[in-house]
Each structure stands twice: as structure tokens, then as C-alpha cells.
A and B are shown apart, each in its own frame.
Chain A
Amino acid sequence: MNKRLKLFIPVAIFLMMAGFLLFGLTRDPNVVPSALEGRPLPDFTRPSLFADQGEFSKADFLGDILLVNIWGSWCIPCHVEHPFFLELTENEPDITLLGLSYDDSMAEDRLFLEERGNPFDVNMVDLGGSLRIDLGVTGAPETFLVDKNGMILYRHIGVINNTIWNETFMPLLEQIR
């Protein structure tokens, strides 16, 4: 290669890198999509949060659009999200809202729902904690949108509000309704 031409290699490498950096500026590095998107909801059988109300399994929810919300009374952002779900469960009757709580805060969670209202159609406790891991949950609040065939469409980390619901969830819902 011509000697002079070789000297352009550094600037070429730099421009290539700058291209990637520019791409980097357009996305948020803290948004990590779930590995389960496009895969089936894991099989599970878990008890209800409320005593003497039996167990639930995956099979119970096939055929319904399912919104699984991982929450806890100890989770402050969940308190912020709570009113949104109260409204949602009224406005979207065809969506089954499933609240999945942690097994070390059951009493406090029950109290929270009694005092502030229960938006969830189903309340489940992740006894043993392995469903959370199977779902790839990283914390609370997290919400999974599952279609009628039990396929996970989307996982949202953090609080959902009207804006997020309209911009992110509604388009997906239109596809599966």
C-alpha cells in the first residue's frame, strides 16, 4: 500500500469509532431488554397472597391477556404506580392484572391492599423466589405483558404511567387483541 495512504488508517479508525459513539448517544445504556421477550411464560404454580384462596398455575391464564406486575409494599415507586393500576383495571376489563409479590412481606402487602385498594385481579406470592428468577426480574416494580398464548411480549422496568402505557403498551395490545 502506498505509504501516504497508510497514514489515513488512524483517521479512518477514528471516524468508524465516532460512528459508534454517535449511535451510543441515541440510546440509554440502562435499558436492558428482557431475555424472555418472545419466549413463553415459564410454568409455575404459586399460592394466592390471601390465605385459603388456593393456588394459581400458568394454565389458568392461557387465553387471557395477562399483565404480570412484580411489586411490594416496601417498594416506594410501587406506591406511585398503584393509582395507575387502580384505574387500569377499571378501564381495561379484558386484561388480567396479576400482582406477584415477594414471600417475605406477605402481611404488609395484604395490609397495603386492604388500606389502599386492590387493583389486581389475581394476587400471587412467589414462594421460594424462583419464579422471579425464572422471569429474569431485577427488582420492583416490573411488569410483563403476556399474550393469550402465554408468550411474553414485553417487560417494562420501573413505574408505568399513562404516557408510558399509551406509547409503549397500547401498540402491543392492539396487535394481540
Chain B
Amino acid sequence: MTMTSKSLLALLLLSLVAPVFGAIAEYSFDSEAEEERFKKLTYEMRCPKCLNSNLAGSDAPIAADLRNEIYNQVREGRTNDEIIEFMSSRYGDFILYRPRLTFATFFLWFGPAILLVAGFVIVRRVMVSSQAQQGTETTLSTDEQERLSRLLGDKQD
């Protein structure tokens, strides 16, 4: 894939998963880009204490503390990667809802694609073999034809 089409795809996928939390108005931002960054980070990080909830949607005190921390760091100008590194070094990869791509998570991220390719290989094989079968298909004799229509009832449905 060329660079442009890769980034287009990334943009497409990102926009498909674009988080939808509105600004928590008690946080104010200088730009929409900053606000988007804040939303993305709080949406994609897990509340360490809750039963499977992200930072944006949790009422727990620790979630509030971490939202504050992320807000401050975004305002300071830290990059997303730096903030993610900050959080995961303190709370473990557990806090990241988007698993890092490591040796251990390779099959997680690429497994479905591999399965899809395998699936299409199967489709191809099925199509090829059914094409081959086309030539050997037998046709019904008139008697068999009549018997068939009787068995299936009068109406075509």
C-alpha cells in the first residue's frame, strides 16, 4: 500500500471509531484538536477500578483523577504516545483498551485478517471445484423429470 492510501485507510478506520463523548464542560480547550485528543485518550483507557468501563464514562474517583491528569498533560502539549506510556508504566497495559502491538498480541491483531484470507482461499477452491463439476453434471430423463414434479407437488413455489 502506498503511504497515502495507508493513511487514508487509517483515517477511515479512525473516523469509524471516533469517540463520541462531548467535552466535559468543566474542561476547556484551546482547539478542537485538543478536545478530540482528550476524548480519544479518555475513551480508550480503562478505569483501573471499575468493572469494565472507560475513563470517560466512569464515576469512580480514580477515573476523575486520571481524567484530570490526562487533561493537564494534553494542555501541556504531551503527545498521545507519551501520555499512553505514562499511564501504562504506572497502571500496566491493563489500562489500555487498545492493546499494544507486541509479539504476544500479534495473533490478536492479525488473526482475523489471516482467517479472512484463509476464508477466501476456501471460497476460491470451492468455486474452482464446482466449475469442474459443471461439466459432469447429469441431466434428468423425461421420466425422472415427471416423477420429480409429482414429488414436489403441483405448484412451483
* Interface residues in chain A, defined as those with a beta carbon under 8 Å from any beta carbon in chain B: 32-36, 129-130, 132-139
Chain B interface, DSSP helix/strand/loop, else mixed: helix
Q: A129-B65, A137-B62, A139-B61 are in contact. Are A35 and B48 (CB under 8 A)?
A: no
Contact B48 A134 (CB under 8 A): no
Q: Does B110 count as interface, using CB distance less than 8 angstroms?
A: no
- A29 CB, nearest partner CB in chain B, Å: 10
Q: Does B60 count as interface, using CB distance less than 8 angstroms?
A: yes
Complex interface: chain A residues within 8 A of B49 (CB): 138-139
How many Å lie between the Cα of A137 and that of B68 in the bound state? 15
Which of A35, A135, A139 is packed against the most chain B CB atoms within 10 Å? A35
Contact A32 B65 (CB under 8 A): no
Given pairs A33-B92, A139-B60, 13 additional interface contacts (CB within 8 A): A32-B92, A32-B94, A34-B92, A35-B88, A35-B92, A129-B65, A130-B69, A132-B65, A133-B65, A137-B62, A138-B49, A138-B62, A139-B61
Contact A35 B62 (CB under 8 A): no
A35, A129, A130, A139: which contacts B91 (Cβ < 8 A)?
Answer: A35
A130, A133, A136: which contacts B92 (Cβ < 8 A)?
Answer: A136
Q: Does B66 count as interface, using CB distance less than 8 angstroms?
A: yes
- The contact string, 1 if C-beta is below 8 Å from chain A, for chain B 45-65, is 000110000000000111001
Complex interface: chain B residues within 8 A of A132 (CB): 65
- A20 CB, nearest partner CB in chain B, Å: 13
How many Å lie between the Cα of A44 and that of B61 in the bound state? 22
Complex interface: chain A residues within 8 A of B91 (CB): 35, 136, 138
**Count: A-B pairs, CB below 8 Å:** 35
Q: Does B6 count as interface, using CB distance less than 8 angstroms?
A: no
Complex interface: chain A residues within 8 A of B61 (CB): 139
- B121 CB, nearest partner CB in chain A, Å: 13
Complex interface: chain A residues within 8 A of B68 (CB): 129
Contact A35 B60 (CB under 8 A): no
How many Å lie between the Cα of A167 and that of B89 in the bound state? 28
Q: Does B98 count as interface, using CB distance less than 8 angstroms?
A: no
7 contacts between A and B (CB under 8 A): A35-B91, A132-B65, A133-B90, A135-B90, A136-B48, A138-B49, A139-B49
- A50 CB, nearest partner CB in chain B, Å: 24
Contact A139 B89 (CB under 8 A): no
A140 closest partner in B (C-beta): B61
